Amino acid sequence: MRQIVLDTETTGLEPSEGHRVIEIGCLELENRRLTGRRLHQYLQPDREIDAGAMQVHGITNEFLADKPRFADVVGEFVEFVRGAELIIHNAPFDVGFLNHELRLLGEVAPVASVEEVCGVLDSLLLARRMHPGSRNSLDALCKRYEVDASGRTLHGALLDAELLADVYLAMTGGQVALTLDREGDGATGAAGPVQARRSGAPLPVIEPTEEEQAAHEVLLQTLDEAAGAPCAWRAGA
């Protein structure tokens, strides 16, 4: 499964007030493993950045003066996310801004909306279902899942995407690959579970708590909704 962890920074809070995207950060996951592929771009918005927004991300009008416009990178962006599931914290905000940028392009836009080429999973909605009544900002989730966010003195699209990728993987189980390291002849290295089975040694079985079972059910419901059908676990795969 191909997923793209995405974040944006903007000139302000409302596209309806003429605010624009000024930074896009994307990281690719393939079968829950970071592939190293990324897309990162600063953008010239052709308008001033609100002072409040500048305090959040630290991006200045002067810094963006020589950067490309969204129209210059939209083709690369659409092809990067095409066919993937986007993982976004507070997805309506970022998707709303990206769709606004596409609308501003009019007939030359390669697609009418982000949803036309990829699915969207809102990690904030997932976190709220898993941790009702708790703070579920990205900073709060980094603390909950022990993701190091000490370098996040200001918001940044690529940095926040990197943190969100770690949080999402931890929040949805932590396992990043269903593979075993088979280096060598199997007698040494990282094939401990295989060795235990071959030697006949019993493997420990740890039963989930009621809270863990409830969190798992919330995750399955979210996957069902994203896929539009029962996920593989419910099908007995």
Question: pLDDT tens-digit profile of 174-201?
Answer: 544 443 333 333 333 333 333 333 344 5
Note whether residue 59 is domain-resident: yes
Note whether residue 142 is domain-resident: yes
Measured in degrees and rounded to the nearest 5, phi and psi for residue 64 equal -85, -5
Structural domain for 78, as ranges: 2-171
Q: Express each pLDDT in 78-100 by its tens digit.
A: 999 999 999 999 999 999 999 99
Mean pLDDT of 67-75: 98
Note whether residue 178 is domain-resident: no
User: How many folded domains does the chain comprise?
Assistant: 2
Last residue of a domain, one of 151, 171, 191: 171
Note whether residue 233 is domain-resident: yes
Note whether residue 127 is domain-resident: yes
155 is catalytic: yes
Regarding whether 160 and 200 lie in a shared domain, the answer is no
C-alpha to C-alpha distance for 108 and 210, rounded to whole angstroms: 52
Regarding whether 124 and 47 lie in a shared domain, the answer is yes
Length in residues, the chain: 237
Regarding whether 69 and 89 lie in a shared domain, the answer is yes
CB-hemisphere CA count at 13 Å for 227?
Answer: 13
CB-hemisphere CA count at 13 Å for 154?
Answer: 11
Regarding whether 226 and 128 lie in a shared domain, the answer is no
Regarding whether 136 and 51 lie in a shared domain, the answer is yes
Q: Express each pLDDT in 133-188 by its tens digit.
A: 999 999 999 999 999 998 888 899 999 999 999 999 999 985 444 433 333 333 33
Map the chain to HEC letters. CEEEEEEEEECCCCHHHCCCEEEEEEEEEECCEEEEEEEEEECCCCCCCCHHHHHHHCCCHHHHCCCCCHHHHHHHHHHHHCCCEEEECCHHHHHHHHHHHHHHHHHHCCCCCHHHCCEEEEHHHHHHHHCCCCCCCHHHHHHHCCCCCCCCCCCCHHHHHHHHHHHHHHHCCCCCCCCCCCCCCCCCCCCHHHHHHHHCCCCCCCCCCHHHHHHHHHHHHHHHHHHCCCCCCCCCC
Regarding whether 57 and 27 lie in a shared domain, the answer is yes
Note whether residue 176 is domain-resident: no
Regarding whether 231 and 125 lie in a shared domain, the answer is no
C-alpha to C-alpha distance for 109 and 73, rounded to whole angstroms: 11
Regarding whether 188 and 142 lie in a shared domain, the answer is no
Regarding whether 143 and 202 lie in a shared domain, the answer is no
The total of other beta-carbon atoms located within 10 Å of residue 25's CB is 22
Note whether residue 194 is domain-resident: yes
Regarding whether 154 and 38 lie in a shared domain, the answer is yes
**pLDDT greater than 60 at residue 118:** yes
State the CATH number of the domain containing residue 102: 3.30.420.10
Regarding whether 167 and 103 lie in a shared domain, the answer is yes
- The pair of structure tokens assigned to 123 is 């990690």
C-alpha to C-alpha distance for 39 and 10, rounded to whole angstroms: 17
Its pTM stands at: 0.74
Note whether residue 73 is domain-resident: yes
Last residue of a domain, one of 140, 171, 202: 171
Regarding whether 62 and 9 lie in a shared domain, the answer is yes
C-alpha to C-alpha distance for 213 and 191, rounded to whole angstroms: 28
Last residue of a domain, one of 138, 171, 204: 171
Which residue of the set 89, 100, 155, 216 is catalytic?
A: 155
pLDDT of residue 236: 53
- The pair of structure tokens assigned to 221 is 């419901």
